Structure 1
């Protein structure tokens, strides 16, 4: 059996500055910190600084994180204290790849949950549960994650805070994703999207679009994933969120890379780099450089990937400074393996191994073991390759990943065949077919899921159209009622001119009749104005000023003329003083002369 390549992409850095808001760069944040007068403002800025410096200068990130905790503690404000714990948890979660960082994130999450519960702060309790769930999910404990998520959704649903609801539903969707229960994941992402679209706040929509894009990426439906990614891009542009746009450009670049549209992929990475230069956020470019390296590696352009990485030494400097030297060594080891410089590859893998054994997360260790095993296979050291794939298999079992287990057993099958150990080769071949069969079933389920999702989307579209039709019907009834009412008022106005009605009464009826008529005209024009202007306030106002400038004189002129005509004595004389007198007059003419 052919040896399966342990093709490993170089790990992304994960610059942990999570750009969910138009957050200023550090100099601006420090200036704001000096001017901050409230504990809440000071705490928020310290949280932004600690998040920014995570990975850039961890000691400085810890300093600002500790200062934020101190502000919360001294204020005795429970909300500030809880948010300080959650902010610290967040920065460690974002600094992925390190087991130590994950452990610290879990500790802070649990502290926040404990304090939120004891303080009876429901919204923050729900939020803290989502952080605890993230820790369980990252560790592969999806049952515990699901329990925490369900509690979060239950609490959030009983409240009125849409932000917490969206976060809770997205987190629950992420856990169902980790459990390969994709239909349930989709339904919860969709619930979050529905809430965000009704609320219309930027942050909620941005998070909902991200989760939907990631979900469709996991299905391999890159077109749908791109649809939501481009929705994000338009939203960020409309709200001038340039820092968020950096992440979105990278996401779109990755999607085009997965879809094998390499030139478009590169173009979006280049857009990200250019925008980072524009907003003077140089450190963010490091992530984009890594995405480009991954793009070249995934398309077999190994020499180009290595040359690009060497040309951008600032990436390696950043990783070393962040204390993630073992990831840098692994990257070099992998790339030198791909270009067949095995002596150099072995040197870097040996440097990387102690760090992965003591500091890396389980997922990171799996990838390292696979890469190292591939190096040994290319070198002809089959026993060592088997050893590291055995380690990888164990980690696959620990995290419950069928993909990892299928990859490990497939390579072990091939390695034992190369060694001539057909008994073990058969054993791992059987296991490999078992895991492969499970993955194929999941793939079929994924196809069925795609149909169910399409049906769900079509059902939602039908419901939306039905609601639009019902709304239009109600509006048409209301418009018809208005037309009837206006017609009735004008009939009364005309009748007032025929019967004996005081001039003041005619003037009052005329005033209201023309008010209703011209307001109705403006009402009909209003929807069209918003359609033409896309709701831009200055355009709406300008058109309405012009419209009113035309209609108001016409209104007064018509009202004056009509009322003058209806109250004119000539009208009364020409048509008879009133309808009754005219009828009486006609009867008198018809009587015979002898009856007079």
Structure 2
């Protein structure tokens, strides 16, 4: 099953950028922004966007925008803008790392950016370059190198006030640890990114979505599908809050893939249909390409070759786009896999042979592995065991370079079966032993995964407890302050009453009375504020309406009570009566003396 999903990861990844590669509402808006740009920095940013989006389908146009961007940066002689143009180029190629050539180009631009940023004391740009280098190494399955770059990025980002840099640094670090199967460390880095995005950049839509998507991928890796869905639903809620319809379409596609992976195919179909309907509403046909990729992924995962081929037949625009973008090999790979499942092996061989030159010369390690695996499966079914052995040995070499236990176990099982069919029992025994070792290791990892899920849940509960404790501490602190204010107001009124009993000037009583009633009514408004915000959920117009009503009641009451109390206390007659009454209570009564 993993074989099919991994293949489509390659397809979807290419489509993700290619979907924007022709004229469309997005690139039209970017061109408008470029036309209206008033500074060299703005022009470089928008030219970088256009260069990235045109890379797949119109490489000459992408290169044209890149050349214009670099020319503006060079002519400015601003080192920061020159580094920015290098980073834009690194980002341009790092979006399409399914091809090893793009990995190398992105790495070279990132290294140039590092060198220039170091020489000109630009630590934030240097950190961004390390993030791109870490991405390149992850895509090449070299997680040790990726981690070293992540550590360099983190050392620079930790001293920065740039929230975007800090969030992306922690996400990148989490992705690297996830690739190394250090799930707890990955989770903690994602939580660090989440804390920054939620507490320090509350209104930053992009950062929040990036973190939610990363956490969804993390839980997907643990097969915790419900948690994975939760975070995409959170990201989707933000698209309504910030009115981001294009991003909502992408979330629908992500939900469709998660439901498909969790074998809830009906719900997956529902979200893919929602995505197609929204693309129609937006009048953005190219956005459907990602959804088509998701649907193909689902059909291949279900092993429905007839549905896969029928889908391709009914979507000629999908085929035309892939061909125009130079992605014919994707179609050939899909058709080859479908015909294997159909049992039409000659047709499968024809299409896979057409795709072979790309995978042999340009694909990264993981995509090469799956291509070799498909070729080995094809020839095994054709009973051409020498050819099957040839491709599965190449797949074994790729699995060793990647270092993934599941891939090693799967290819060992295949080679064990193949050697048995070839009556080479010695090699069959060797690979059977390897399969058992890898299988035991994976069972251990599965147990560790279960423990990891529990540990992650414990970490979440600990965070929740800390949040509740912090909330309780805040509430206690506020209650103490409210009590202190209450005591202070009571003391002021007691003092005011004492002034009324003794001979104190009327002016002093009036001044103290003024402040006493100010304190009292402001305290009432302070208490009311909390409840008002709770009732209105922070809606400004509702808060204003309630406060107008409240003040219209309290203000006259304030003036009336202040006037009456101060008049009473400054009355000379009342002063004498109060003093006499007070002394009569304080002084003991004398008993008459008998003569």
**Which segment drifts farther, 550-559 or 232-241?**
550-559
2:308, 2:129 → 1: CA distance? 41
In structure 1, which of residues 307, 318, 332 is the aligned counterpart of residue 310 of structure 2? 307
SS in 1 for 2:38: coil
- 1:451-479 CA-to-partner distances (Å, cap 9, x unmatched) read 22122222222222221221111111001
Aligned match of 1:342:
345
* Alignment pair present for 1:583 and 2:586: no
Would you say the 8 A contact 2:139–2:364 is kept in 1? no
* Alignment pair present for 1:531 and 2:534: yes
In structure 1, which of residues 491, 495, 498 is the aligned counterpart of residue 498 of structure 2? 495
Normalising by structure 1, report the TM-score.
0.92
The answer to which structure, 1 or 2, has the higher relative contact order (CA under 8 A, 6+ apart) is 1
1:445, 1:217 → 2: CA distance? 16
- 1:553-580 CA-to-partner distances (Å, cap 9, x unmatched) read 332233233333333x3xx425625516
2:18, 2:343 → 1: CA distance? 37
Would you say the 8 A contact 1:229–1:251 is kept in 2? yes
Would you say the 8 A contact 1:25–1:281 is kept in 2? no
1:588, 1:389 → 2: CA distance? 111
Aligned match of 1:255:
258
Aligned match of 2:171:
170
Cα shift at 1:135: 1.1
Structure 1 586/165 Cα, relative in aligned 2: closer, same or farther at 3 Å? closer
2:582, 2:440 → 1: CA distance? 98
Cα shift at 1:288: 0.9
- 1:93-142 CA-to-partner distances (Å, cap 9, x unmatched) read 11232122222111111111111111111111112111111111211221
- 1:326-373 CA-to-partner distances (Å, cap 9, x unmatched) read 222111111122222333222211111111111211211111111222
Would you say the 8 A contact 2:255–2:268 is kept in 1? yes
* Alignment pair present for 1:458 and 2:461: yes
2:138, 2:85 → 1: CA distance? 22
2:574, 2:53 → 1: CA distance? 88
Aligned match of 2:573:
573
Cα shift at 1:592: 7.5
Would you say the 8 A contact 1:5–1:374 is kept in 2? no
1:423, 1:208 → 2: CA distance? 50
Normalising by structure 2, report the TM-score.
0.92
**Which residues in structure 2 correspond to 1:53-452 (within 5 Å)?**
53-199=54-200, 200=202, 201-452=204-455
Cα shift at 1:444: 1.6
2:285, 2:78 → 1: CA distance? 37
Cα shift at 1:83: 2.1
1:331, 1:180 → 2: CA distance? 30
CA RMSD of aligned residues (A): 2.7
Aligned match of 2:566:
563
2:424, 2:62 → 1: CA distance? 52
Q: Which runs of 5+ in 2 are unaligned?
A: none
SS in 1 for 2:11: coil
2:540, 2:83 → 1: CA distance? 40
Aligned length: 587
Cα shift at 1:197: 1.9
Would you say the 8 A contact 1:389–1:412 is kept in 2? yes
Cα shift at 1:6: 5.9
Structure 1 330/456 Cα, relative in aligned 2: closer, same or farther at 3 Å? same
